[in-house]
Amino acid sequence: MSMDALLQALSALTGSWAIPAAFLGVLWGILGGALPGISPSIAMAILLPMTYGLQPVTAMVLLASVYVGAEYGGSIPAILIRTPGTNSAAATTVDGYEMARQGRAGEALGISLIAGLVGGLFGLLVLVTATRPLASVALSFTPMAYFALGILGISVIASLAGGSLLKGLLAALLGLMLAMVGSDPVSGVSRFTFGEPELLGGIKPLLVMVGLFAVSEMLVQVSEPAWARADAGRARLKLPDWPLMKRLARPTAIGCAIGTFEGVTPGAGGTVAAFMSYSEARRWSKNPEEFGQGSPEGVAAPESANNVVTATALVPLLSLGIPGSNSAAILLGGFLVHGLQPGPMLFEKAPQVVYGLYAGLLIANIAMLLIGLVILTPCIWLVNRPKPWLIAFILALVVSGVYSVHQSLFEVGLVLGIGALGYGLRCTGVPLLPMVLGVVLGFMIESNYRRSLLLSGGDHAIFFTDRVSLALLLAAAGLALYSGWQEIRGPRRRRAALEEQTT
């Protein structure tokens, strides 16, 4: 970062409530992450409507800090009760819970905290150094290239967010259909509003995100049994000493490297990064036999990886306008609420927001360390509350937050309806992220498609004569074909392996 950028970041922090927002966001994120089933994206979605009246810098720092806190908070129940609070903490349960069974829960929690801090700071360094150069390249994009970029973003997410390419593309199509409700971006003619004046402005991405992530999760939790209770007597935080830190350097570095790659790849996310880091840490460990038996390295690798992703997943969001994870999609919704469009022009139109976000993430990681030292007892108390009380409280937060934005009962009903739709999609195995991306990227795809046709007089060949557009469309097609081929080969490989075992 240049000196001017540092000054803008400092001004953004001191000229707003960004620093208190970072601490509050981390606190809420840790508490939300400690509740099994409440992922970072859900914790962020609950707060998203409440950021409407905040300054843009404060709102972005608040949401990003929730992301940081939730990734650490998810490791607390993973270690104590073998129930990951977030999807990415699932890899931590393998050795973290074994350490807890051996009376080393405090040591495992301390390793999780320190490895998460190292991963978060490393991810922030990658975010700061990689985003601006990538955005500079994107400034040369034409309308045709932006259209192709949107198609690529949806195809990447659709192919990675679930086991079925067809279901992922179906979800993306549903999202694009919702994005077309309202006024035509070129002619201004209303469409698909069914005579409802509230739909003339379209369906806001905020409502879709809150409904799909938060409300649908509450419906899922109602149908599942309560999680186990945590024993407060087993949790006494113990930070790793210097000899243990030296031992953990290699798995932490492996987690940082894999987390960086997975974070900047749209659709991969912290869960993939955590499991890959665990596997590679075991491969390169001097004591691989300890993995699965309570190895500190088996806690450090996945925890550093999923915390790296909290920052690196924002690289494609800030540079290209394409979120790389559910949580990044929620942050994108926060930008849109405040009239900001992430992408290369964001650095020109609102650099103070970008640099303020960088500084806020630094404060958030420091806050994670400080709050993590004292948050265990409240987290254990929260996990031990009756599940119906927690669900009712969260649902009340969602409804009141949505209503506070425009004081509209219609929007509250829309959120509940979208939540019911999301519950149905989850029951049928349809991933939600492609649908969210369809809603968020729908305007960019449609408007640039229409502009391109206006430039060419209706000739679709313009998408193939533009080199960047052609390259992106070919990448999207290649990715879809590869994913489809992998789906076809998967059952064949499993059958072949089964036949080998039986013979």
Handedness of CA 244, 249, 254, 255 (dihedral sign): positive
Q: Which helix (DSSP H) or strand (DSSP E) does residue 191 occupy?
A: strand 190-191
Q: What is the pLDDT of residue 398?
A: 82
Cα–Cα distance between 265 and 71 in angstroms, integer?
A: 18
The H-assigned helical ranges of 48-103 are: 56-73, 75-80, 92-101
Please tell me the predicted confidence (pLDDT) of residue 367. 93
Closest CA to 382 of 215, 238, 232: 232
Alpha carbon dihedral 156, 157, 162, 166, in 10-degree steps, equals -70
The CA distance from 77 to 229, in Å, is 9
pLDDT means per 10 residues, the chain with 503 residues, are 63 76 93 78 86 88 92 85 76 86 85 92 90 75 85 74 74 89 81 85 83 84 72 70 90 91 69 82 86 89 90 86 79 88 82 88 92 80 77 83 83 91 90 81 85 89 90 87 75 58 54
The residue written with tokens 């995100």 in the block is: 209
Residue length of the chain = 503
